[in-house]
Each structure stands twice: as structure tokens, then as C-alpha cells.
Amino acid sequence: MSEEQTTGPHPHEEDAGIEDFELHVPDDMDVQRCYRHPDRETGVSCSNCGRPICYDCMTQAPVGFRCPECMAEQRGGLRSVGGQGGARRARVITRQQTRARWQGGLGLSSSNQTTRALVALNVIMFFVEFAYGAGGAMGGFSNTNLVNLGGLYPPDIAINHQYWRLITPMFLHASLFHILFNMWALYLAGSYLEALAGRVKFLVIYFVSGIAGNVLAFALAPKGSVMIGASTAIFGVFGALFAYSLNNRNTLAGMALRSMGTVIVINLVITFLVPNISWQGHVGGLIGGVVAMQALSLFGRKDLRAPFGAADAAALLAFLALLALVVVWRVETFLA
């Protein structure tokens, strides 16, 4: 017991009345309006999704309060988005689940099926590389065979116009260590992003990031380089989670993702210190992930779990159009 704690009332507190308590809302308190009752101010947010809820909408949970839709999902029901009944919302995960994932937990969950499918596809492609002689368990890969399987080789894009090479390198890896490290990172970060954004938006962020990384690599890397790896898209997942944490820094989910900044810094240091790593691909993927997240959430003003709509498509197409201009510029200047 600290010296400031007492076991009985203060001698002068017997005459204290209710006027001793502050009944007004402190000036620094973050007051918002209930998402279901906009006419009601509240300082309470759902401990799962972070949306503000009033006293009629809150349900006591083991940690904090939950909104009606999170409670419905917990009971196995469908959740609605913005009053549109019947639309399935992405599963939200608890703080304990978040901690388990970032500490290396590999428990299976129905909310990360797309992530697991991407991991499986990458592993299958690695076995194809191994059989084709393009990659080896400890390295010793063949650049020629990697290019034949779809590696990013700038001359083939600029001269032969094989633009599909801006996508296929995301599924190729040079060694067992390369794919193990990337798939471990994809499983942990991808599972959480998929739970936050849903399958469709997760895939959109993943591929937009991977393409952005490959475009920057094509534009800035040495002309004779051969570049492969899912890390362009994985850096995009990191960037998307970091952007989400900034947009929701006052919520449980945002606070749980504060460590993403440290993860990104550590990986960028490795990128620039270790030879034969394409910093262009990693930086481009990181930028792509941040842009995709902000486009899909309108910098935190839009519910990320809302269905993918025309406005989302338009914003992302604008970004892809910008990437296309970079590709056109590089093609025009490649032989200069």
C-alpha cells in the first residue's frame, strides 16, 4: 500500500457535498457523437472497432464496452454497414489476439483465409522454381530461369513491353530463407490487415502495393537487374497498417499497431544495409500501401469495413494511372 492510500474517510470529507465533484465535461476530453445516434455526445468508444457509442448502444465486455454490431458478430450473426442490412463486415479481433499474432502465434482463423491462400500460392511457386532450376534451398538461383518464370527484368518491360512482369515477381523467391522470412511476415501482418479491411480490400491493398513497388524498381533500379520477391507487397501491408494506426490512434486497434512504425524502420535499415536488396521495391511498396489505405478509408473518415465501392475504385485507379505514367516515362527514357 502506498503512503497516499488510506483506509477510511478523510476527517473533513463528512461535510463534503456533491458540489465537490466536477459534473461538467473536461475541456480536453475527446467528445464524439454516437455512430447510431448522432444527436448524442459520448466519450466512450467500442473496444473492438473503436466507433463512438452512447449509453443505449454500449454492452459491457471483458475489456471496455462493445457496440451492438460487434456483439452481434460475436454471437455469429451478420453485421450491417451504415444501415445496409445483410452486408457482412470483416471480423474484428481482440487485443489478446493481436498480441498473439505479433508475438508469433500461428493459430488459424477464418478471417485470414486470403492471407493463407497467398502464402500457399507463394510456396507452390517456390517448388515450381526449384523444379525448374530457377531457385535453390540455400540460394544458387539462375537469373535466366527466374526471368523465364516472370522475374522483373527492366529490358523485357521497356523493350519487349512485357508489363505483366510488374505483377509476377511478387510470387517468386530466390532461396528458402527468402521465402520463409517473407511468408512469416505476410502471415502475421496480412492476417491482421485482412481482419481489419476484409478480403477484397486486403487483396486490393496487397496488389496495389506490389505493383507500386515493382514500378518504382523498374523506374529506378539498374537496367540489368533481376528483381523478385513478395516483399514489395508485404511492405505495402506494413504501410497500410501504419496508416491505419495513425488514422485510429485513439482507438484500441490504433494503439495495438503503434509498433508498426518500429517494424518499418527496422526493415528499411535492413533494406539499405544488406546488399542485393531492392530498396526501390520496398520503398515503392510502402508508399503504395499507405496510399491505398488512405484512399480506402479517406484518411480515417470512412469505415474501412464498408463494402468496396465506386469511390474506392476511382481513387485507386487514379493512383494506378499515376504509376502507369511512371512506366511510360521509363519506357521512353530507357534507351536514352
| Close Cβ partners of 171 (under 8 Å, ≥ 6 residues apart) | 121, 122, 125, 150, 230
CA distance 22 to 95: 32
Domain end position, chosen among 37, 64, 89: 89
Nearest to 225 by CA among 134, 146, 318, 306: 146
Q: Quick one: pLDDT at residue 93?
A: 52
Q: Quick one: pLDDT at residue 214?
A: 98
> Is residue 182 predicted with pLDDT exceeding 50?
yes
Q: In which element (H, E) is residue 140 found? A: none
Q: Quick one: pLDDT at residue 36?
A: 84
Please tell me the pTM assigned to this model.
0.70
Cβ–Cβ under 8 Å, residues 134 and 141: yes
Residues recognised as catalytic: 231, 282
Do 109 and 77 belong to one domain? no
Mean pLDDT over 98-102 rounds to: 50
> Is residue 198 predicted with pLDDT exceeding 60?
yes
- State phi, psi for 240 to the nearest 5 degrees: -65, -45
Do 119 and 228 belong to one domain? yes
Q: Which residue has the higher pLDDT, 254 or 94?
A: 254
Do 151 and 109 belong to one domain? yes
Helix runs in the chain, H state only: 68-74, 95-102, 113-132, 143-149, 154-158, 176-197, 199-220, 231-247, 252-256, 260-273, 279-297, 310-333
Do 231 and 322 belong to one domain? yes
> Is residue 62 predicted with pLDDT exceeding 70?
no
Domains held by the chain: number? 2
Q: Quick one: pLDDT at residue 60?
A: 78
Do 47 and 170 belong to one domain? no
Do 33 and 123 belong to one domain? no
Do 136 and 255 belong to one domain? yes
Do 109 and 182 belong to one domain? yes
> Is residue 13 predicted with pLDDT exceeding 80?
no
Mean pLDDT over 143-157 rounds to: 93
User: Which residue's C-alpha cell is 485507379?
Assistant: 317
Q: Quick one: pLDDT at residue 76?
A: 57
Q: Quick one: pLDDT at residue 183?
A: 97
The domain of 297 spans 95-333
Cβ–Cβ under 8 Å, residues 152 and 165: yes
Do 229 and 268 belong to one domain? yes
DSSP string for 29-60: S--EE-SS-TT-EES-BBTTT--B--TTT-EE
